[in-house]
Amino acid sequence: MNKEVDYKAWLEQGGAQTEAGRNSRAYAIRTIEKNLAALGMPFKDLDEAWEGDRFVALRARLKQMRDDARSGGQDYRLLMPDSENPHNRLANWGSWLGQYGRFLAGELPGSSKDADRIRQYVLEHYIEPAREDGRGQVEVLVREVNAALGLNQAWPNICQALKGRIFQDLAQVPPPEQVGADQSSATVFRFDVRGRRISRPALEKLRTRFLALCPDFRSFVEPGTGWAHGEKAYKVAAIGRVQSALSGDATDELLGRSVFEILKTAAKDGPLVRWQTEDAIAKNTPDLLAEFHTAIGRLVRSEEAPEVALSTAHAAFDGLRSRGATSLTYGERINILSSALAMVHPKAMAPLKITRINEVWETLTGEKLFVEASADIGADYRRLADGFDEICEIMRDEWRWEPQDWLDIQGFLWIANDKTTEVPAKPNEAAASNENAETPMSISPVNLILYGPPGTGKTFSTATEAVRLCGEPVPQDRAELMAVYQRLVAAGRIEFVTFHQSMSYEDFIEGRQPMTGVDGDGEAESSGFRLETVHGVFRRIAKRAETSRGRSSGDDMIRLEGRQVFKMSIGEANNPEDAHLFEEAIEGGYTLLGFDDIDWSDEKYASREAIFEACKNHRDGGDLDPRSGWVQMPFRFRNWVRQGDIVIVSKGNQQFRAIGEFVGDYEFKPRPEGGYAHRRAVRWLWADRDGVPVSEIYSRGFMQQSIYLLYDSELNIPALERYMNSQRNDGDCEPDQFVLIIDEINRANISKVFGELITLLEADKRLNQPNAVRVRLPYSGDEFGVPSNLHILGTMNTADRSIALLDTALRRRFTFREMMPDASILKDAAEKCRIDLPQLLTKINERIEYLYDREHQIGHAYFTACRSQADVDEVMRHKVIPLLAEYFFEDWAKIAAVLGDLEPGEGSISGGFLKRAILNPPPGLEDGDAVARFRWQVRSVDEGFDYSKLVGT
């Protein structure tokens, strides 16, 4: 190890405070490097190992040693022949190896970053000693870390550092259990230091729910007669059928076909795989069907290690998808391959549904398991195996559940994480409930107002709250957070509106607006105008939330990339005689086109001229040309549309009412009554018969043409993709969550703007809740209720209007969270500006509270962007001092008192921010009748500001 001196110096600068700690790390790295060959590594030294695979194989080898040591093996003696506690020492060595990799990668030591110092200190003084002592857990009190490192009330920084993924990777620990208050000096983090990745509190919650859903369960040997028994029984039956198929001498293709047939018929209500995937391959790319079955057959027949066989089969499926088998999405590949492999290796694999396993994995480990953007099926399998082994050990040794294979673990996770089934009520609870009450949704709507003085980050914080309420992971990095936020805004799941004095019910809920007779690109219907009901921002987002049936995001979501998007009408939307056409199309799984009843199936009609000639002959000439709709529409419907393209069904020129995916070729199906004989099979993805404004997904109104391509540049792609996926509900997930942010909520006349919403916002009066209420709106006459999956965030500046003056009805229906100035946030800015900004802000606010009140303090956000004294001067000159002048109604003596410039007496003052000069009285008032008056001035830019008196330096 020729870099030992540099490595120790790097450790010391990064916060490794003790020489013994640095020596231990260096010894571990030396020992690993010396034994690379004995460990089976093909590298001559650690530099080469880092360049080769970033220590992936080496860390996996240490993990293997830990597992072996846990089972009583002696493999660890290659590195530590005399160790009495190899498992914990190996966990430490694994984290130190990762740390050495950061050193080799050239990462700067964290001497100037409190977060790095915090992580290094807790690792060295808490995690590692606990492992050396053989303890399973260790508790970290935030106050003690703050004192040991000499930090200034850095509770939020300490909490953020210890809860983050960086520390979990560094220390090789799962997410900690938090005990007590949030982000305070009394916060305690309880870490499991046994090298496990599964969160025990999260696992225990799943266990509680599982037992509530399976009350007669005793163990997997005695599962009772309920859900737990049934969940495994059909899988065992399927395994028996697959084993019978394997015993024959069928080819890989025939075997794979048999296995898939078994998987898709394994259970009447919950087959292991979706038959539609195979069906789509048979219809769209029939030449690939044999290869699809062959890949499955080879997988179940393979004698290679599971991760190798799985990787080979996944690569084969990936190749089929690139050649046109588009139904083999990432999620479908995981589902089919895991289910097939589980039939022959139930102790090494289980059937997995990607949405469900990712959801429960994130609950247990803080991260998803399968992510297409970073997919590595071999590495993902190893993570799955580690987690399942850990859960199996807990079930076997602590719960005494006697798990037999991975099917037991998967069944437990499937049942415990099911959100569509209510836990049965106890007898006394059931008797007290209303038998006819509607089953409440599990969604708990949030009505939250963030309030406080200006500049405390209220609007800034709504982005974090909105992303969290939408069910998305909240990144710690601000830029990443705003990227997620903007994506949700573009998809229509977050709306932002600012209230003002002129805001009205008509702007917020609905109102009448004058419209001209122009409809889309058509000609004017009249020379005047008409009044139409227009939805406000609240009704628009409420509509989106109400029509959402399932999650629109995820690894298996349908995307627009590579697809054409067509607008199409099915009959005349406002003609009652055509209403049945739309219903028939939705029910039948196809779309319809009118025009002449001519069969366009013949290949010759790939030509526009051939269609024109056929139309001309059918109509005996007539006034036709190749640009006529009678020619254009059939030509587009037959020849432009490809399977996989998207169709949007219009409702007039300003609304749409269905979205689907073309999954079939052109068909001619004459109707007894004539007309609408042209069809294409469609998989309907979303439908709302009432219709939604086209502006939600397209920047212009629809044209009156029956079918035409929409411009990609005019499409709101995130919003359209959300609609396409929002009703794809397999019964195992809640609908998308939506958030309306109302900035400055107290600046409008609340009762005037909200109207009947004051009642509808209450949690128990939301749609699908026990006391759901709908009201009839005055302009449209529609019945309206507020969905449970719509959350409302508000911000309120207490300097504008006291919370005590807010509408009482609104106060009762919202939760209020105070946000006050936090001077500790300015610590980094203070170092850059060389001004004690925390002290400056604290002094100013103490004096404002004394002279005025606490609600008119100044927030930290005024100074967070400061990088120099010039920046601070700008803030003080153009923001803080004018704000103080507004607060104190130009009483400059009070402003000077706040800034530390006021002096006793009636003489001139030359303060750090303000100057006071005595004004001479007019002639005739010199003899004592004049009151002393002053001229106050802010120091000029050239004079600059002096902060010494204000901050006490």
Band (407; pLDDT cuts 50, 70, 90):
very high
What pLDDT sits at residue 520? Answer: 39
SS3 of the chain: helix, strand, coil, percent, to 5: 50, 10, 40
Phi, psi of 863 (to 5 degrees): -110, -5
CB 447 within 8 A of CB 813: yes
Confidence (pLDDT) at 518: 45
**In angstroms, what CA-CA distances link 667 with 81, 584, 682?**
75, 16, 12
Task: Specify the pLDDT at position 526.
Answer: 46
Rounded to the nearest angstrom, the gap between the alpha carbon of residue 38 and the centroid of all alpha carbons in its chain is 44
Per-residue DSSP letters for 465-485? HHHHHTT----SSHHHHHHHH
User: Where is average pLDDT lowest: 8-12, 122-126, 190-194, 529-533?
Assistant: 529-533
Q: Has residue 709 got a pLDDT over 60?
A: yes
Task: Name the phi and psi angles at 709, rounded to 5.
Answer: -80, 135
**Which residues does 16 contact at the CB level (< 8 Å), separation at least 6?**
22, 25, 120, 124
When pLDDT is cut at 50, 70 and 90, the band that residue 660 belongs to is: very high
Contact 845, 810 (CB under 8 A): no
Q: Report the C-alpha gap between 72 and 596 in whole angstroms.
A: 80
- Alpha carbon distance 64, 280 (integer Å): 42
Question: Alpha carbon of 370 to those of 309, 334, 355, 742: distances in Å?
Answer: 17, 9, 9, 36
Q: How confident is the model at residue 195 (pLDDT cuts 50, 70, 90)?
A: low
Between CA 219 and CA 259, with CA 368 as vertex, the angle to 5 degrees is: 65
Residue 92 per-residue DSSP state: H
Write the Ramachandran bin of 191: left for phi over 0, alpha for psi from -120 to 50, otherwise beta.
Answer: beta
pLDDT one-digit tens code per residue, 613-638: 888 888 776 677 777 888 889 999 99
Give the closest residue to 724 by CA, choosing from 565, 579, 535.
565
DSSP string, 543-578: HHHHH--S---STT----TT--EEEE--S-TT-GGG
438-452, 549-563, 809-823 — most confident range:
809-823
Q: How confident is the model at residue 515 (pLDDT cuts 50, 70, 90)?
A: low
- d(CA 767, CA 790) in angstroms, rounded, equals 10
Confidence grade of residue 166 (pLDDT, cut at 50, 70, 90): confident
Confidence of residue 437 (pLDDT cuts 50, 70, 90): very low
Using DSSP's 3-state secondary structure scheme, residue 180 falls into coil
Residue owning tokens 């799943």? 206
3-class DSSP state of 333: helix
Q: Which residue has the higher pLDDT, 550 or 713?
A: 713
Reported as a pLDDT band with limits 50, 70 and 90, residue 801 is low
| Single-letter amino acid code for the residue at 693 | P
- Which pair of tokens denotes residue 327? 């139904």
Q: Regarding predicted confidence, which is higher, 149 or 891?
A: 891
pLDDT for 184 beyond 90: no
pLDDT tens digits, one per residue of 902-943: 988 888 999 999 999 988 888 877 665 567 788 999 999 999
Residue 349 has pLDDT above 70, yes or no: yes
Q: What is the pLDDT of residue 898?
A: 94
Q: Are 585 and 591 spatial neighbours (Cβ–Cβ below 8 Å)?
A: yes
Give the tokens for residue 46.
């650690």
Among candidate residues 178, 158, 152, 153, the one with its CA nearest the CA of residue 115: 158
On whether the CB atoms of residues 828 and 867 are closer than 8 A, the answer is no
pLDDT surpasses 90 at 840: yes
With bands split at pLDDT 50, 70 and 90, how would you rate the model's confidence at 476? confident
pLDDT in tens, 13-38: 766 667 777 888 888 889 999 999 98
What gap in Å lies between CA 410 and CA 212, rounded to an integer? Answer: 17
Angstrom distances, CA of residue 612 to CA of 495, 621, 670: 48, 10, 20
| pLDDT of amino acid 339 | 93
* 458 in Cβ contact with 793 (< 8 Å): no
User: Which helix (H) or strand (E) is 224 found in, with range?
Assistant: none
Sign of CA dihedral 681, 684, 690, 693: negative
Report the chain's mean pLDDT, rounded to a whole number. Answer: 83
Q: What is the pLDDT averaged over residues 186-192?
A: 85
Per-residue pLDDT of 771-789, as tens digits, reads 888 888 888 888 889 988 8
Assess whether pLDDT exceeds 70 at residue 841: yes
Per DSSP, helices labelled H in 123-251 are 128-132, 142-148, 155-163, 165-171, 200-213, 227-246
Per residue in 603-624, is it b (16+ CB within 10 Å) or e — as a string? eebeebeebbbbbbeeeeeeeb
Cα gap 171→92, rounded to integer Å = 7
Return the closest-CA partner of residue 646 out of 685, 689, 597, 703.
Answer: 685
Instruction: Kindly give the pairing relationship between strand 790-797 and strand 447-452.
Output: parallel
Contacts of 683 (CB under 8 A, 6+ apart): 589, 660, 661, 663
Instruction: Name the CA radius of gyration of the chain, rounded.
Output: 34
- 314 in Cβ contact with 337 (< 8 Å): yes
∠608-609-612 over CA atoms, to 5°? 90
Strand partners, 188: 141, 179
Q: How many CA within 13 A on the CB side of residue 16?
A: 19
CB 213, CB 421: distance < 8 Å? yes
Question: What are the phi and psi torsion angles at 330 (to 5°)?
Answer: -60, -45
Dihedral sign from CA coordinates of 766, 772, 774, 775: negative
- Cβ atoms of residues 312 and 294 within 8 Å: no
CA distance linking residue 269 with residue 56, whole number of Å: 42
Q: Residue 2: phi, psi to the nearest 5?
A: -85, 0
932, burial (CB in 10 Å: exposed 0-12, middle 13-18, buried 19+): exposed
Burial class (CB in 10 A: 0-12, 13-18, 19+), 891: middle
**Contact at 8 Å (CB) between 519 and 651?**
no
**pLDDT value of residue 17:** 62
Does 553 or 272 have the greater pLDDT score? Answer: 272
Q: What is the pLDDT of residue 438?
A: 37
**Which token pair is 944?**
């600059």
Q: Tokens for 364, please give them.
A: 């247990």
**d(C-alpha 552, C-alpha 886), whole Å:** 48
Q: Which of the pair, 516 or 725, is modelled with greater confidence? A: 725
Residue 191: strand, helix, or coil: strand
CA distance 217 to 240: 24
The CB density around residue 156, as the number of other CB atoms within 10 Å, is 16
Paired strand residues for 816 = 449
pLDDT at residue 522 greater than cutoff 60:
no
Residues 573-587: what's their mean pLDDT? 78
